[in-house]
Structure formats: C-alpha cells, structure tokens
Amino acid sequence: MDTLFSLAHGFTVATQPVNLLVAFIGCFVGTVIGALPGIGPVNGIAILIPLAFSLDLSPVSALILLTSVYYGSMFGGRIASILLNIPGDSSAVVTCIDGFPMAKKGLAADALAISAISSFAGGTLATIGLTVLAPTLAMAAIHFGPREYFALYVMAIVIVGGIATGNPAKTLVAGLLGLAIGTVGIDPATGIPRFTFGAYELYEGIDFVIVAIGLFAISEFLVYIEQRRSGPVEQVPVGRRSTALRRLTYPATSLRAGLLGFVIGVLPGAGATLASFMGYALEKRVSDKDGTFGKGDPRGVAAPEAADNAAAGGSLVPMLTLGVPGSGTTAIMLGMLVTLNVQPGPLLFQQQPEIVWGLVAALYVSNVILLVLNIPLVGLFAKLLTVPPHYLMPGVVTVSFLGVYSVNQNSFDLLMMVGFGVFGYLLRKLGIPLVPVVLGIILGTPMEQSLRRAMAASGGDVWTLLESPLALALHAVTACMILVAIVREARRRHGEAAAARGA
Amino acid sequence: MNIIAGRRALGAGMLGLAGLAAARPATAFVGPRPECLAPSAPGGGWDFTCRTVGRLMQELQVVDQPVQVSNMPGAVGAVAFANVTSRRAADHNLFVATSTVGLTQIAQRRYPGDIDRVRWLAMLGADTGVILVRADSRFKTLADFLGALKSDPGGIVTGGSSSLGGYDHLRLLLLAQKAGIPAADLKRFRWIHYDGGGPAVTQMLGGHVEVVSTDLAEIAGFVEAGQIRVLGAMAEARLAGAFADIPTAREQGYDVVGLNWRGFYTGGRVSDEHYNAMIAGLKRVYDSEGWKEAARRSGLQPVWRSGPEFERFVAGMVSELRGLSQEIGIIS
Amino acid sequence: MSDRIVGVLLALFAGWYGWEAGSYSVGFGDPMGPALFPEALAPPIGLLGLYLALRPDPEPEWSSGRYLLAQLATVAALVAYALLLQPLGFILATLLLVACLTAMLGARLPQALMGGAATSLGFFALFDWFLGIPLPPGLAFGG
C-alpha cells in the first residue's frame, strides 16, 4: 500500500501545471531533436539544462524536463526510421524493417501513429511492472551472471537470422560481418588494440551512428539514383492517416512484446535494442502467417516499439534498486540524479522515495503527453515526404553528414560513413540484409565480454557455460529455434525448387 | 519545408536564451563550453568525480555555463586518452577525470602514449581501496581470505573494475604478496574484469564472483545497506565517519596502502594561461565546503596537489607502478 | 557471378581476419585472451563465403550507363565533401554539395543553388546555434 501511496504522491507532483508545461516543452523539443539522425537525448539534455537553470526549476521539475526530452527524442528517432529509413539510435533499427515499407506504401502517418500508440502501451506496462515488481525483479536480475548473459546474446544472434527474409546464408554472413566489425578497437578486458592499423580514430571502435547512417541513408541515396532508370520515381500520397486510430492499436502485439521487453530491460546491460528486436522476432514468429513481415506489416512496427519502451521502463529497476545503470537511458538519468545531489544506490528507495516515485510518475506523464502531442502531428511529420525528392534527398545526405560529424567532429568518420554507404549499397544489390550487420555490431562486444568473463571465472573451462540451469535453458531454446529454422528452410527449398529471389 | 522552418524559429528562440546567459560576467576558467570528460560509463568513479566537480563549479560560479559531463568508456581510459591526445590536444574547454587507475595503465604502457602527452592539472582527493565480500561470506577477515588464497590460488573467483593488471587487480596482488604468496602463484588467480565497481558488486551479490577488490566511494551505498562486508581498507589509518569501523589492512598485518587519488588532466597543447586558470578554478572547488561534504559522504579523503608538484607526483607514481608491474610479471 | 566473386572475397577476408587475430596475445591471467573470439568468427565467414561461391543466387541487375556514372559522381562528391568540410567550412561546402546533388537529380541550376543555400544556412543555424554543436566556419566567415 505504501508503494501505491508514494506513487500517487508522485503523480500529484508530476501533474502540477508547471510540470505539465515543462513536460510538454521537453517532449516537443525532444521529438524535433530526435528526428535528426545521430543527434539524441544527450544533445537534447545538454540544450535544456541551461533552460532548467535559467527558469530556476525545482529538482523534480528538472527531472521531468529531462525525462520528457528523453522520451521525446526516442519517438523522434522513429520519425527518421519510418520516413527516411535512417535509424537514429540503436533501438530504432528494427523499426525500419516494416516502418519504411509502410511509408513507401503511403502509410507513413499510420506507421507513426502505431509507433506512438504502441510506445505508450509499452510504457504503461512497464510503469505497472515497475510499481508492483521492482524489488522482486532486482533480486532476480542479479542471478544473471556472465554465462547467462552469453546465452542470451547467442540467442539474440540466432534470432537475427529469423528477422530477415531471403537467403539464410546471406543473413548469417551479414550478422557475422557485424560481429567482426564490432571487434575493431581496444579490447576492454586487456587494453590491446585490435584491427586498428595504428589509427587512433579506430581505437574507440567504429561508432554505431557512423555504420547505421552510412549503411542505411547513404546507400538509400545511391539506390534512389538508380531507381530513376525505370522512369521517374512516383511520389506516394502522404499526409493523412488512412485508418481510424482504434484500428491502429494492436493490443495483443503490444502486450506480448511489452512483457518481453520489460523482462529484458530489467537485466542490466541488455537494454532496449535487444528488447526491440526480440519483441519483433517474437511477433514475427507468432503472427507472420502470410509472410507480410518486412514488407510493411503494421504489427512489425507495433512490436519493437512496445518492447523498446517497456525495456526503457524495465531498465529503471536496476538503477533504482541497485544504483547500476541498466541502459543508456538510465545512465543519463543516474548522472542527472548526481547533478541534483541525489546519491543513487541500494538505499535510494528507503532514503528518498519521493525522488524515485516522482521519476516513475514523470516517465509516465511523459508517455501520455507524447501520445497526446504526436497523434495530431503525425500527418505533419509525414508531409516531410511531400518535399520534392531532388531537395529532400540531398537534405537527408546533409543531415547524415551532420549526425556523424556531431559524434567526434572529424573527417575520418565522414569518410568512413561514405565507405559504409557504398558497402551498404553493394550489400543491398547482392541481397545481403543490412539489419543483421548493425545488430552484430551492437551485440558483438557485450557478447564477447560475457564469454570472456565466464571463461575467467572458470579458469578456461568451456563446460562452465552449460553448468548453470538458466543458461542451459536459454541454450536449449536457442537450439530449438535453429532446428525449427532448418526444418522450415528444407521444406521451403523442397516446395519451391525454382524460387524467385526476393528483393 | 514547414518542419524545417519551425525548427529554425525554435532555434531563434533558444538563441535568445543563450544570449541571456552570455550577458553574465565572464570568468577566466575555461572556454565557452566547459566539458568534463569521464572515461567511464555513468555511475563509475571518474563519472562521480566529473559530476561532483562540475556541479560545484557551477554552484561556486567558477563557470557561467553548466559543465557538460560526457562519458567515453573504453579500455580503462585509454580510449578517452587517445581521443584527447589525437583530436582535442588544444581544447581548453576540456578537462578529463583520471586517477591512480589511469596511471597504472600508463605505467604498463596500455595507453597510446606516456604521461608527457597530456598536461596534469590537479588532484582533489583520494579514494580508498577495499576488499569486499558478501555479508554471508565464509571470509570474516583478510587473514581468512588470504589464507584460503594461499592454499588454493586458483580456487577463488575475484574481480573488480580494472582489466588484468589494472590498479584494482594490482592492489589485490600486492596484498597477496604481503601474505607470502609466491610470484608464480599470483598468476594463477582468477580475475574478472567489470566496467565498474557497481556492476562488480552487483555480480558479487548474485554469486558470480566471490571477492571484489575496488574503491570505496563507488560502492559505499552497498556498505551502508549492509549487503556486503569490507574485509579491509588499504588506507594509512582508519577512515572517518560512517566507515570508522572498517579495519585497515595495515592493522591486520598486511602493510599495503592502495589509495586511488582523483584528479584531472587536459590536452597537451593547452596554453599555460588556460592551464593555470583551470588549476585556479579547481582550487576554488577544493577549498569549498561543498567538496569537503561530498568527499566525506563518499569516503574520499581531500588531498590537494597541482601544477608542477602534481606532475612530479605523477611521474614518481608511474615509475613506481612500472617497477612493481615488472616485478610481479604483468609486463616484461 | 556476383555472388561467386563475393563468396571468394569473403573467404579471403575471413582468412586474413583470422590470421590477424592470431597475433593478439596477453602474458597471463586471461584464459581466453583477445584473439579467440575473432578467430572463432573467421571460419564460419569463410565457409559461408565458399558456400555462396558454389551456390550463388540469381544475378542481380547492376546499375549501368549514365546511372552508374551518376552514382560514381555522387560518391566522389561525398568523398570530396568529407575532405573539404573543415577547410572550406560548413556553409560553403554544404552549399556546393547540395547544389551538385540537386542539379544531378534534375533541378535547374538556379533552383539547385537556392536549395543548397537554404539547406546549408538552415542546418548551420539548427546545429551551430540551436543544438550547440560547433560546425567548422571555414571561409564563409573569413576563417
């Protein structure tokens, strides 16, 4: 009962007019900033901190401002994914798979609305989960050790294979190339530089933003030039939602993906990216009866969005109960708490419950405002696509350069982005999917590190990986997935001997 | 084009705000965009240093723009070091948190470059190395733990926030050396590297690592919560306040002092003028009540060294750590 | 044919990657070491490459003629932009790039120049002033 009372108090604070106004500004600015690829919540927060100080906001209001910027920019990232096929941050990669095809079909506004609604559903689910289960879940999450994490990452890599359509060998190669690209840079466990060729620029590894923007945005431009060969590229009618809002909610999808996302979010380090594509893969397995996923299926947008937002909520569990950041989001929030002179740690719940529940309430209020703010605006965002392509496409290229330049401010990264653009173009022509490459890069380092930790703990005994029941169970599920995939593939080959290759 | 126009209008609005901020009196500390670079993930020790000092700088009006804290984790600071030396050597907006942990890496030649590649500003305090176990552990004292380690060097899983041979690991090896464990056996210890003291302790609570060697400040909350036991602190004398009942390693018969000082460096091509202004700004932070309060709360002992004195201290420390690492066999 | 070439290239890459990974080692304490993970990635990449070489998909339709030329010119323009951004400054470099790309996509020259000017000035305002991400001023503001 204490919890509910504290939460109610948190909501009272969060819904004061000044805080609602602050949340509104934060959501709007965040959305605009997030729509620029490569520019994320960190930049948004950096801009608004001076504002928070000059308006002399109370700590709680400041916290609300920053959380609303965070949520806003997360939604903004979806705008670039859906309209332009540029994943603005790592958890938006999966949204491209079905979001961009929807936009191509003229359903951009629908896709954006689905994204907003499912995000809201995921966020709601996470807030409930957080309120009811936080302490229990935190204790469960600490049982996840290196072996269990490794099993989870192996499963994730295998799931990547299930996401993409087309030649499985090519999907696998794409994922492996991603893992290989991820090994570039200084090895965290020993400090040895790998595959850097002595270039300092590569010591930090290749930033996700550079790869994603290059592979997606620049290759898109090259593809566009070529498409004009088959006559002028027709413009799709956009601007209006074509469906009633009611029919853009996918309750079953959101519930499934949201629950999964929340559980993954609770594990420190696993994060929203993993959640978003596990959610997508689950939905594809459950619902993709007619092979519409990857070609603009609305559920393919709803699932990762719900999972992603639920994970963002779930990752608050380790942060609030243990003081350990569970994701990029919470890392930023932890920093904010320190700036506000709040010491995060295992005692935060007992010592400063008003901060904790204020934060939870603030997150939820941001969720609501984002929905209210953006549903009317989706048509406006979608109108971006009515800009004539010969202005829009060069503008997109400029934004891409800017997004990459903002990471490290040097030319080396820009050249690397162009290189990845050409690489991405070639991969697309060859029918090698791009998403597994990006996910391989994201998952490679944590996967290797968890394996190395498990090996260090066991003194090099490989069997240790199977000696934990939880890890064993995860590996068993992975093995089943591989088996099913092989059987399906064999049947498919058998059934359609002369299969035409997909696009 | 509507959206672009809207953004521009918004930009103009924000511009007005920036103008207001710039109207305040200029201070000599750093350039227009003060930035503290923490070479760790948020929540780590270096991150704490940056955020606390950044907050105080603003409270004391050492800076007139808020200090932006950016995080660049990777290879125990080597990534940030590479970034600063290669790209931001002359950036007088930037100061980078570091500590004995970073120096250990330089001493073992794990950074791309030696100490002369950057300018050492000042240290503001020292953190204390501690050996931790879970509250329900079989080890009650350092002697219990080191005795078990001596009889079975490869049988106990240890870990901390540094990579192999890093300062957390090195301090554990020093203790073991004092306990009479032969050098050949030191190499058989199992050591797991985590990205920070917090994650290491969390994993210890989950039973994935038995003993953690790290700094007190980052995990002080866990000690206060009673979830973990401190077997020994590697300090010269007992700590003050809430940590007074932690026994030192020295009083248990192992004469090892493992202090992890906290300080800052800046790019190697920053001018003397800016270098001195930065030191003066840090001194104002050090002298403030706020810093003493923050230090006390987190188990940090305030210590001040700056400028040439600090540079000599750094050089001495590096040669000492380098010798030690060679003796134990971490580097050749 | 394309898949065969790619397959062989992948196999060669895998060989080099695995061989290069083998050169990373540490003295003591890390039972797995920094080499094993990349070494483990190399064989599957190589085998999949060989598989592609032996069982290729149908040939994709490659770009040709003036479209290929346009693509090559685009890549050249992008590379030039990456190199010239800092010396020329953001406004001038972006104006040139956007004008070139816009003209290539079929706009008239005055339109292209207008588009370039609008894009570069708009983004400069957005990033440098609003977002506080400093862009190289370069020649446009006299260095």
pLDDT tens profile A426-437: 999 998 988 889
Contact status of C143 with chain A (Cβ, < 8 Å): no
pLDDT of A417 > 90? The answer is: yes
Q: Given a cut of 80, is residue A17 above it in pLDDT?
A: yes
For chain B, the average pLDDT equals 81
**Is pLDDT at C80 greater than 70 in this prediction?**
yes
Residue B15 in this model has a pLDDT that exceeds 60? no
> What are the phi and psi torsion angles at B266 (to 5°)?
-135, 180
Q: In a 3-state reduction of DSSP, which class is residue A498?
A: coil
Contacts of C129 in chain B (CB under 8 A): 11, 14-15, 18
Looking at per-residue pLDDT, the higher value among B244 and A499 belongs to: B244
| pLDDT at residue number B148 | 94
Start-end of H helices in A315-352 = 316-322, 328-339, 348-351
Position A44 pLDDT exceeds 50 = yes
Q: How far is CA B181 from the centre of its chain?
A: 28
Q: Say if residue A103's pLDDT is above 80.
A: yes
Looking at residue B29, what is its pLDDT?
A: 60
CB of B210 within 8 A of CB of B177? Answer: no
Q: Residue A99's closest CA among A89, A88, A110, A90?
A: A110
Q: Which residues of B touch A53 (CB under 8 A)?
A: 58, 66
User: Rounded mean pLDDT of chain C?
Assistant: 86
Mean pLDDT of A202-231: 84
| Nearest CA distance, A139 vs chain C (angstrom) | 29
Angle at C25 (CA atoms; ends C20, C26), nearest 5 degrees:
160
Contact C71, A226 (CB under 8 A): yes
Question: Is the model's pLDDT at A503 over the cut of 50?
Answer: no
Average pLDDT over residues A189-207: 79
CA of C24, closest CA in chain A: separation in Å? 7
**Per-residue pLDDT tens for B38-56?**
887 666 678 878 888 888 8
DSSP A70-109: HHHHHHHHHHHHHHHS--SSGGGHHHHHHHHHHHHTT-HH
The pLDDT of residue C22 is 87
Q: Do B8 and C126 touch (CB under 8 A)?
A: yes
Do residues B245 and B251 touch, judged by C-beta distance below 8 A?
no
State the pLDDT at residue B25: 38
Region B22-33: what's the mean pLDDT? 51
Of B14, B164, B329, the CB nearest to C130: B14
Q: Does residue C125 surpass a pLDDT of 70?
A: yes
* Closest C-alpha to B187, from B207, B208, B209, B165: B165
Give yes or no for residue A328 having a pLDDT over 90. no
Residue-wise pLDDT for B188-236, tens only, equals: 889 898 877 888 898 898 899 999 999 887 788 888 888 899 999 998 8
> Does domain B28-125+262-328 correspond to CATH entry 3.20.20.70?
no
Confidence at C124, pLDDT banded by 50, 70, 90? confident
Select the residue of A204, A335, A409 nearest B69 (Cβ to Cβ).
A335
Mean pLDDT confidence for A57-65 = 76
Given a cut of 50, whether residue B17 has pLDDT beyond it is no
Helix segments in C22-64, DSSP class H: 36-54
Higher pLDDT, A10 or A269: A10
Nearest to A411 among C29, C45, C83 (CB): C83
Judged against a pLDDT cut of 50, whether residue B290 lies above it is answered with yes
Q: What angle do CA A453, A456, A460 make, to 5 degrees?
A: 120
Domain map of chain B by residue range?
28-125+262-328, 128-259
Chain B hits for C126, Cβ within 8 Å: 7-8, 11
**A143 contacts in chain B (CB < 8 Å):** 206-207
Residue B2 has a pLDDT of: 35
Cβ of A240: how many Cβ atoms within 10 Å? 14
Give the CATH superfamily of B128-259: Periplasmic binding protein-like II (3.40.190.10)
Mutate to test the interface with A, among B33, B57, B202 (most CBs of A within 10 A): B202
Statement: residue A204 has pLDDT above 90: no
Q: For the residues A184-210, what does the mean pLDDT come to?
A: 80
pLDDT band at B183 (very low <50, low <70, confident <90, very high): confident
Q: What is the dihedral of CA A420, A426, A432, A436, to 10 degrees?
A: 10
Burial A435-449, CB ≥16 within 10 A → b, else e: bbbbbbbbbbbbbbb
What's the per-residue H, E or C state across A107-146? CHHHHHHHHHHHHHHHHHHHHHHHHHHHHHHHHHHCCCCH
**Cβ atoms of C8 and C51 closer than 8 Å:** no
**B28-125+262-328 and B128-259: identical CATH topology:** yes
Q: Which chains touch B (3 or more CB pairs under 8 A)?
A: A, C
Of B38 and B296, which is predicted with more confidence?
Answer: B38
Give pLDDT, residue B1: 29
Chain C CA closest to residue A445:
C37
Among the residue ranges A269-283, A338-352, A407-421, B278-292, the one predicted with the least confidence is A338-352
CB distance B56 to B288 below 8 Å: yes
Interface test with B, best of A66, A148, A207, A324 (most B CBs within 10 A): A324
Percentage of residues in chain B with pLDDT exceeding 90? 23
- Pairwise pLDDT comparison (B314 vs A205), residue with the higher score: B314
Say yes or no for a CB contact (<8 Å) between A200 and B86.
yes
